[in-house]
Structure 1
Amino acid sequence: MLSLNPAFLFQAVTGISANSFLMFSYIFTIFLDHRLKLTDLITFHLALNHIVMLLTALLLLSLHLFESLDSQNDFKWKAFFYLNRVMRGLSISTTCLLSMLQAITISPSTSWLARFKQKFTSYMMHIFVFSWSLSLCCRTYLLFYAVASSSVNETNMPVLGKYCSLSPINSIIRGMFLTLIFSSDVFFVGIMLLSSAYMVILLSRHQRLCQVLHSTSLYARISPERRATQTILLLMSFFVFIYWVNLTIFSLSALSWRNNSIILGVQKFVVNVYATVSPLVLISSHKKISNILQYMQWKCHQFLKS
């Protein structure tokens, strides 16, 4: 049977490298500009979430392949798995924050949404604390009931992932936690869709206005706000697509308690696609980071010539 481990390893290394470069680029721009935009802070937080998410996924793979799961390693495995799922939840909420902020940023000053910009900025730390608390609390059951598939012999246990199953748990407790997680995910994805629709409406109005005024130079030159909005819309669309693909695969795997290695292997790969692709999209669309890359390329060229 074809193993997806090499593909996942390449995906994880690529994602960690891209997110790390994105983080260091924002740090570098902070030193140059001596200020930090709220959008940069949220994007920095998103990149950090994805790095931890991919690192814990690699650690889980190494524990499963190279170490026997005794009591000590089983505790490490539970901690890594719990942290990985917490980062997934934070990835959703942070992406939602990014879409909300961009929608507020491009809103006309006369709109009701623009009034929330100052409040949104003032309470950003509170929003971060709430997102972390929600993601941590919703997944606490994993620390008690999640077990590595290789450490158990039962085949009728609910599957959480390729190497993870759920030990016997009260149906009420399991339903409560799963409902809480699913409800929060639906809420954040719903906010993303609403903010994305709002941004699309604003962009289409701006485009029609430019065409009415016959300002070809204004229309041809893409403003930084418009470029950022297009990037966020691309990320939102990609995230929602990957989320529903992963949900479909999870539903297929949930039809049977038995561990289908093919379906679960594909799910493990799909669930990390957004964490790998999103930093590449942000790097390619960020003008200052592009300038840094061009500067580094020019320096390398000069070094090779000398």
Structure 2
Amino acid sequence: MSSLRIVINFQAGLGVLANIFLLVFYTFIILGDRPKPMDMISCQLAFIHIVLLFTGTDIWLTDLFESLNIDNDFKCKTTFYINRVMRGLSICTTCLLSVFQAVTISPSSSFLAKFKYKLKKYMISAFLLIWFFNLSFSSNRIFYAGAFNNISKTNQMKVTKFCSLFSMNYIISALILTLTMSRDVFLVGVMLTTSSYMMIILFRHQRQHKHLHSLSHLRASPEKRATQTILLLVISFVVMYWVDFIISHTAVLLWMYDPVTLSVQQFVMNVYPTITPLIQIISNNRIINMMKHM
């Protein structure tokens, strides 16, 4: 069990450092000349994943909270709420990244082409919308999470050292599960649709250049790499998200969370925010060139 905790801490530490690097890099890009819409989305995603990794690793929080004289119930509700908001923002921002990249590489003859030069305008509105939606959507978590106590174990399920979930009415539980699944299925569906669209465009582009070699192929290669990176991120997200979803909802339905299940879920939940910055770093020519000059 202790070895698993070491792995989780190493994983979270690696993810936090990689995301901080990306956050600083994209912040400088945004403050510079003419940042791309993808840069602004990636910067937000890095910030979201830093907070997600901190709130999803209870060992770090336990050490931090023990040094603060704050009510345990407040600590639990705040941490649980922020974590759920960040998980929702992660799926929404990944979806946004996929949609915007699909618009960016769309041919001039396609329906999406008319949105290509208005991405920055739509992006600010999209940011505000997904933040407002997730802050509101996850607000119910405040009422069903609290500090763990030994008085009524049957009505609460321990999920961290200092935090537990309280049982809720069956109708409310079913409603929350339905709304959450509807949101996730819709967003994953959008990601898979845009990913399929991008794969078709890449396939057509590759087939055309088997017979034609020109400078346009060289110009398209950075966009091609960016599209391949986003496709890899989407596939990683979909796989890890649904594994986490199955584990967490099975535990809630059975009303039983043992320490091993919690640790496995924590590891799975942290995979995507950890590998996302690593994939972006090794596939971004600007970062690679910067490191070479350093």
Q: Name the TM-score, length of structure 2 as normaliser.
A: 0.89
Match of residue 103 from structure 1: 102
CA gap 1:159/1:205 in 2 versus in 1, 3 angstroms: farther
Structure 1 residues 152-184: Cα deviation after superposition (integer angstroms, max 9, x where no partner): 444434658455432132333333223222211
Determine the C-alpha separation between the residues in 2 that align with 1:73 and 1:158: 15
1:238 CA displacement: 0.8
Q: Name the TM-score, length of structure 1 as normaliser.
A: 0.86
Instruction: Compare 63-72 and 194-203 and name the one that shifted more.
Output: 63-72
Q: How does 1:38-57 map to 2 (within 5 A)?
A: 38-57=37-56
2:2 paired with 1:22: no
Match of residue 276 from structure 2: 278
Q: Quick check: 2:54–2:61 contact (8 Å CA) kept in 1?
A: no
2:146 paired with 1:147: yes
Structure 2 alignment gaps of length 5 or more: none
2:205 is aligned with what amino acid? H
Determine the C-alpha separation between the residues in 2 that align with 1:241 and 1:9: 22
Q: Quick check: 1:29–1:288 contact (8 Å CA) kept in 2?
A: no
Q: Quick check: 2:76–2:145 contact (8 Å CA) kept in 1?
A: no
Q: Secondary structure at the match of 1:4?
A: helix
Q: Quick check: 1:69–1:151 contact (8 Å CA) kept in 2?
A: no
Determine the C-alpha separation between the residues in 1 that align with 2:77 and 2:247: 23
Q: Quick check: 2:156–2:164 contact (8 Å CA) kept in 1?
A: yes
Q: Quick check: 2:244–2:268 contact (8 Å CA) kept in 1?
A: yes
Structure 1 residues 196-217: Cα deviation after superposition (integer angstroms, max 9, x where no partner): 000000111111111133x288
Match of residue 173 from structure 2: 174
**Cα RMSD between the aligned structures?**
2.7
Q: How does 1:145-224 map to 2 (within 5 A)?
A: 145-148=144-147, 150-157=148-155, 159=157, 161-163=159-161, 164-213=163-212, 215=213, 223-224=221-222
Determine the C-alpha separation between the residues in 2 that align with 1:218 and 1:272: 39
Q: Secondary structure at the match of 2:146?
A: strand
Determine the C-alpha separation between the residues in 1 that align with 2:285 and 2:238: 25
Match of residue 299 from structure 1: none
Instruction: Compare 230-239 and 55-64 and name the one that shifted more.
Output: 55-64
Q: Quick check: 2:81–2:141 contact (8 Å CA) kept in 1?
A: yes
CA gap 1:157/1:189 in 2 versus in 1, 3 angstroms: farther
CA gap 1:65/1:43 in 2 versus in 1, 3 angstroms: closer
Match of residue 93 from structure 1: 92
Match of residue 112 from structure 1: 111
Structure 1 residues 11-70: Cα deviation after superposition (integer angstroms, max 9, x where no partner): 111111100101111233345x52221100000000000011112234665328974999
Match of residue 124 from structure 1: 123
Structure 1 alignment gaps of length 5 or more: 297-306
CA gap 1:276/1:61 in 2 versus in 1, 3 angstroms: same
Q: Secondary structure at the match of 1:12?
A: helix
Q: Secondary structure at the match of 1:271?
A: helix
Q: Quick check: 2:57–2:266 contact (8 Å CA) kept in 1?
A: no
1:234 CA displacement: 0.7
Match of residue 136 from structure 2: 137
CA gap 1:187/1:109 in 2 versus in 1, 3 angstroms: same
2:10 paired with 1:10: yes
User: How many residues in Structure 1 have an aligned counterpart in Structure 2?
Assistant: 293
Determine the C-alpha separation between the residues in 1 that align with 2:177 and 2:63: 25
Q: Quick check: 2:77–2:142 contact (8 Å CA) kept in 1?
A: yes
CA gap 1:116/1:34 in 2 versus in 1, 3 angstroms: closer
Determine the C-alpha separation between the residues in 2 that align with 1:262 and 1:58: 14
Determine the C-alpha separation between the residues in 1 that align with 2:218 and 2:122: 37
2:204 is aligned with what amino acid? R
Determine the C-alpha separation between the residues in 2 that align with 1:69 and 1:24: 28
